[in-house]
Chains A and B, each alone.
Chain A
Amino acid sequence: MSNIPAELRYASSHEWTRLEADGTVTVGITDHAQDLLGDVVFVECPEVGREVAAGEECAVVESVKAASDIYAPISGEIIAVNEALADSPELVNSAPYGDAWFFKIKPSDAAELDKLMDAAAYGASI
């Protein structure tokens, strides 16, 4: 069974989001997604400062098995990316909700978060 933390919100394309106290949103991929991908060997993150729209391709995960696009779950500006993934892509497999966050977004419309699924809905969708 996949781990689906109750406090996060989810996109149907298997990204999770966490609303931080400062209003920014941290994004990663779910335990289910990393399990489907298998061993991750490269992660290509977006440039800091890039404006992304909800649903836009903005990162790539390469596993031994396949390449997979990662989509921005909400619109906004990329304000940070996880540099640790460059040297330790395997974190995506071992800590998908922790050390393996991908990027942080400053939302342009915080209401978009409400359109994402809660844990129960995501769990039912996979």
Chain B
Amino acid sequence: MALRTPLYDQHLAAGAKMVDFGGWDMPINYGSQLEEHHQVRRAVGMFDVSHMTVVDVDGSEAQAYLQYLLANDVARLKTPGKALYSGMLNEQGGVIDDLIVYLAGDGYRVVVNAATREKDLAWMSKQADSFAVNLTERSELAMIAVQGPLALELVKSVVSDDRAALISDLKPFQGLPSGDWFIGRTGYTGEDGLEIMLPAEQSADFWQTLLAAGCKPCGLGARDTLRLEAGMNLYGADMDESISPLAANMAWTIAWEPAERDFIGRQALEAQKAAGDQPKLVGLVLEERAVLRGHQKVIVDGVGEGEITSGTFSPTLGYSIALARVPRATGSSAKVEIRGKLLDVRVVKPSFVRNGQSVIE
């Protein structure tokens, strides 16, 4: 029996095509993935992300614990509600999961992936043994991501004045509580938007309110093409426990300073960095009439081979894009094998679209 979010009936009512995602019965689209994608880039759309796992970290050693658990440094979070993105690594420097952590009062709120929930919670609990810290999974919360250039205005128009004021004051990558809600100006689309955590029993009414205000429901299909255009990694596709953050375009999430901060995986990462032999995650652009897909082989003349980790047709750009892991010495061009043919691709920074516009250099 697949798990269902509190919004399951709303999805069926909106005509969703449901698929299994990490054990959850989730909407892949509500008709057209392309239209949903454009809706978010051009206006506003909403996603049910209630399957994601929310864990509150409290206790006198909450900061010390997360400083040891994560490659990024939560001591960088200075203002209330400020968030950061980090890898949670194993001792070998492989990525157990990627996550967002918000500074929440005296503690922290961590949001991890749905498909990795069990191993994440087990790892987090194990590491918590030596710290004065409490971990509380908040499975009673639903989460709705409202994304797109009109997202903030639309949400403000349907919530209380207090919440609208809070949203107006939120900085990008900041999330704050409002009563029993938590509103974060975060997302996974490359657009402005909000991720709203609220008690499950309120979520269907809020979803209907957003729908009535013109917010279109969007499925996991559009979520994937939006995040890929934005150059955001998908755990399990672009990195996993066998991949270093250095090989996953996550070097910027490793806080090397202060040098005396020990975190899990640090030694392994330092050795990798010194060796300089990790492959790199790059962007690929194919302007021919074909589509780059995960696991296609990438050939770099005179250098070696790599592999596409995520690929798609980019609805915003009108051609195909991909993330690929290739040898570090790869330059600005490569070839991809598609159905027995070698097609030329451009190698670019792994970010393609932000705020509705191409950012390919």
Contacts and interface: CB of A to CB of B under 8 A. Distances in A.
Interface of A: 38-39, 41-42, 44, 60, 62, 64-67, 86, 90, 93
B352 to A, nearest CB: 15
A62 B313 contact: yes
B291 A38 contact: no
Given A38-B221, A41-B313, A64 B290 contact: no
Contacts of A86: 289
Interface string B227-264: 00000000000000000000000000000000000000
B291 A39 contact: no
B225 A64 contact: yes
Contacts of A64: 33-34, 221, 225, 312-313, 315
Contact of B33 (A39, A44, A62): A39
Q: Is the interface of A mostly helix, strand, loop or mixed?
A: mixed
Nearest to A60: B339
A93 B33 CA distance: 12
Contacts of A90: 34
Interface in B276-331: 289-291, 293, 312-313, 315
B178 interface: no
Interface residues of B, number: 14
Contact of A44 (B225, B289, B312, B315): B289
B29 interface: yes
Contact of B34 (A39, A60, A66): A39
A39 B32 CA distance: 6
B289 A42 contact: yes
Nearest to A41: B313
B291 A42 contact: yes
Contacts of B225: 64
Nearest to A62: B291
Nearest to A90: B34
B17 to A, nearest CB: 9
A85 to B, nearest CB: 11
Contacts of B289: 42, 44, 86
Given A65-B221, A67-B291, A93-B32, 5 more contacts: A38-B221, A39-B33, A39-B34, A62-B290, A62-B291
A6 to B, nearest CB: 26
22 contacts: A38-B29, A38-B33, A38-B221, A39-B34, A41-B291, A42-B289, A42-B290, A42-B291, A42-B313, A44-B289, A44-B290, A62-B291, A62-B313, A64-B34, A64-B312, A65-B33, A65-B221, A66-B293, A67-B291, A67-B339, A86-B289, A90-B34
A8 B152 CA distance: 50
B293 A67 contact: yes
A65 to B, nearest CB: 7
A44 B339 CA distance: 12
B40 to A, nearest CB: 14
Contacts of A62: 290-291, 313
A41 B225 CA distance: 13
A80 B29 CA distance: 34
A7 B315 CA distance: 36
A39 B289 CA distance: 15
Contacts of B339: 60, 67
B111 to A, nearest CB: 27
Contacts of B29: 38
A54 B195 CA distance: 52
